[in-house]
Amino acid sequence: METIIIDGKKMSLQIQENLKKEIQTFERKPKLAVILVGDNPASLIYVANKKKIGEKIGAEAEVFQLSPVMTEDALISFIEELNQNDTVDGILVQLPLPPHFDENKVLATLDPNKDVDGLHPHNLGNLFISKTDLKPCTPLACLELIKSVLPSLEGKTALIIGRSRLVGKPLAQMLMAENCTVIQAHSKTKNMDEICKIADIVVAATGKPNLIQSSYIKKGAVLIDVGITRLDNKKITGDIDFESMLGIAGAITPVPGGVGPMTVTMLYVNLLNSYKKNFAKSLK
């Protein structure tokens, strides 16, 4: 069997091109505010990339790097000001926050209409009734990648390995809305290999390099690798043992070049949605 390598980079460039064209028709540039508290090295790279892609498509992306010793109240006031600022269409708080912040409380401060990460409890709650414009970016990316090789997901068995707020939990809702049978596995799941064997789709989001081996996989399954780990030899690797899957999986996303570029692109799909909503509101 020939395994399709799902080119997330190429797909993301195509979507970015469309977003760029759409922005050119807008009255003003949509603006994203990115809040980074402290200087976590991985977060610095993610945030710089978000800014770069935003500028490339003609949006404005302003990064506010705030002191890691600021108080939670000060961060909440900062977000409230951005909520009130009509020139800001989307706000993203880069996670993780330093340990003295209550992430749930901080995310709940965001204006749900500007929550381009889809992490406010209002938007996460709306996922349960399939009624939100702003869904978390990584699950959106996973769904697009899956649909590029499986146009109909109805009746497929999808295994999600991971139950985080950013990926696993929201993705389960989104795949159920597509009429998949969803199995949610996590670090305490027993018999992972047996469960993998029945899955038509496997999404791995654990951060454990090469956790998923080819002996676990049903022939022809679609594999989506959300994991991204930098090994001691500096090589970036995912949760799925990529090489061993060739000839066994029906399709697989590479790391890098799969979920990563699509996730940043989905952020700007969300930004354009919130721009359109906020701009229409300002005309009323």
Binding site for ligand GUN (CB under 6 A): 46, 92-95, 117, 137-138, 166
**Rounded-to-integer distance, Cα 13 and Cα 20, Å:** 10
Tell me if 223 sits within 8 A of 247, measured CB to CB: no
* Amino acid, res. 52: K
For residue 137, count CB atoms less than 10 angstroms from its CB and return exposed for 0-12, middle for 13-18, buried for 19 or more: buried
Considering only CA atoms, which of 245, 181, 180 is closest in space to residue 218?
245
Residue with Cβ nearer ligand GUN (95 or 146):
95
**Six token digits for residue 224:** 């989506």
Q: How far is the CB of 244 from ligand GUN (least distance, A)?
A: 27
Q: How far is the CB of 136 from ligand GUN (least distance, A)?
A: 7
145 φ/ψ sector (left φ>0, alpha ψ -120 to 50, else beta): alpha
Q: How far is the CB of 73 from ligand GUN (least distance, A)?
A: 20
**Rounded-to-integer distance, Cα 28 and Cα 30, Å:** 6
Q: How far is the CB of 245 from ligand GUN (least distance, A)?
A: 24
What is the DSSP secondary structure assignment for residue 143, as one 8-state letter?
H
Residue with Cβ nearer ligand GUN (9 or 197):
9
Residue with Cβ nearer ligand GUN (95 or 223):
95
Q: How far is the CB of 228 from ligand GUN (least distance, A)?
A: 9
Residues annotated as part of the active site: 50, 94, 117
| Residues in a beta bridge with 252 | 5, 223
162 φ/ψ sector (left φ>0, alpha ψ -120 to 50, else beta): left
Residue with Cβ nearer ligand GUN (139 or 250):
139
| Residues in a beta bridge with 37 | 66
Tell me if 231 sits within 8 A of 209, measured CB to CB: yes
Residue with Cβ nearer ligand GUN (121 or 220):
121
